[in-house]
Structure 1
């Protein structure tokens, strides 16, 4: 008695899967380079809640008192002049070793010069 041969199954189309994975890889490589990294010499303060992304136009305050905007050293007055027509809140990235009186002075000067809210960007801390 002769048995009928088993039906052959088609091989799975792996080329389509490889193409999708490759396109995803390229997308994430490109998308990962869109945001500019924060200044490497700044160690952000810890907080329980923080923004997921560092803003591009934030004012960076180093521990030594240097003020950076878009990677260039500036002053509070120059930054305030550039932001005078903005309606969005101003964002400050302070170094955790910056004295609080210096941070408060910069925030107060920005608030007085522009009339906008001033927000601090901090490193997201883990709740104990």
Structure 2
């Protein structure tokens, strides 16, 4: 009697190399990703004895020369971006400590013309 020789089963493809590639890509993207956008310019915040948390959703940066920046835009583009925000949006001002008070008052007056309900000044403890 002749019996048929059973066909050889092919071994299934190993998934381990694909998992290795996926983890290498994941590590690459985590290492090269920018987690938070960089500050538009360096500011030296004024000091205070405040312990309250800042709740502002929009952060207006003011340089020592009074140049505003918001969401990657600076100068007049930052003011246009502020004008496009909802007046109920809390705005946080991160002004350099060497910014003259007169310039800060002008900024506050301009923010008042946009009718923002909440404006906070960021300080360092």
My pick for the range that moved more, 86-95 or 100-109, is: 86-95
Runs of 4 or more above 6 Å deviation = none
Q: TM-score, normalised by structure 1?
A: 0.57
Counterpart position of 1:62: 63
Structure 1 residue runs of 5 or longer lacking an equivalent are: 1-25
My pick for the range that moved more, 92-101 or 35-44, is: 35-44
Q: Aligned pairs, how many?
A: 94
Q: How does 1:1-128 map to 2 (within 5 A)?
A: 34-50=35-51, 57-75=58-76, 77-83=79-85, 85-123=86-124, 125=125
How far apart in 1 are the matches of 2:51 and 2:39? 15
Max radius of gyration: which structure? Answer: 2
Q: TM-score, normalised by structure 2?
A: 0.59
Write out per-residue CA displacement over residues 55-78 of structure 1, whole angstroms, 9 at most, x where no aligned residue.
663010000121111232133641
Structure 2 residue runs of 5 or longer lacking an equivalent are: 1-26
